[in-house]
Structure formats: C-alpha cells, structure tokens
C-alpha cells in the first residue's frame, strides 16, 4: 500500500517526492476530479494526500468520498502557500465532541 499526492503546486509535489511519495500537479477542477477518480480505483493506493486549495474546489465531493469510501483514505494537507487553519479546525471538532473548549 502506498501514498499518492494530488497537489496544486510543484513545491509540495517535489517535497513529497523526496520522501518517496509520487503525485501530480493539477490546477483545474475537471483535471482534479479525473485524477481523483482514477486513483480511487487504484488498489495499490491506501492514502491520497490532497492540498487544501484543491479540497476547497469541491468540498461536497470530498466530504461525500470521506463519508462513504473506506479506502483509500483522503487526507487534506496544507501547502507552504496556504493559510490553512487545520489545527484550529481540529480543535473546534474536538471541543464540540467533548463539550470542553480547548
């Protein structure tokens, strides 16, 4: 089982390639959805990493995949250009789940 990256910039792709993770760079929604569909059916891929900018292009589709598909796991990753607040989002989810503000 392996990782695969779908990125919106070459810097993220090159960085992850250094640790052995292959991937592609796409900029258009149509291209992103085509490659995502293709990689969802690749049995050798266990985890698909997707940059935040691409996830925001079609959050409804990504959410549906995360809820309905067991494999592969879809993981959103920030890139160096993003101002993602993933940490704050996780804090909010945990706070609402346990009822205590962190």
Question: For residue 32, what is the enclosing H or E element?
Answer: helix 29-40
Q: What is the pLDDT of residues 57-86, one digit of tens each?
A: 888 888 888 888 888 999 988 876 665 565
CATH number, span 2-98: 3.40.50.10580
The sheet carrying 73-77 orders its strands as 23-25, 2-7, 45-51, 73-77
CB 79 within 8 A of CB 8: yes
Q: What is the pLDDT of residues 12-34, one digit of tens each?
A: 899 889 999 999 999 999 999 99
* Tokens 């989810």 belong to residue: 93
pTM for this predicted structure:
0.77
Q: How far apart are CA 33 and CA 18, in angstroms?
A: 25
């Amino acid at each position: 089982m392996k990782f695969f990256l779908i990125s919106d910039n070459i810097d993220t792709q090159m960085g992850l390639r250094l640790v052995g993770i292959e991937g592609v760079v796409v900029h258009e929604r149509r291209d992103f959805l085509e490659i995502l569909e293709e990689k969802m059916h690749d049995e050798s891929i266990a985890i698909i990493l997707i940059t935040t900018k691409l996830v925001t292009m079609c959050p409804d589709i990504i959410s549906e995949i995360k809820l309905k598909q067991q494999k592969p796991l879809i993981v959103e990753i920030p890139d160096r250009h993003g101002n993602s607040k993933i940490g704050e989002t996780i804090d909010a989810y945990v706070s609402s789940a346990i009822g205590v503000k962190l």
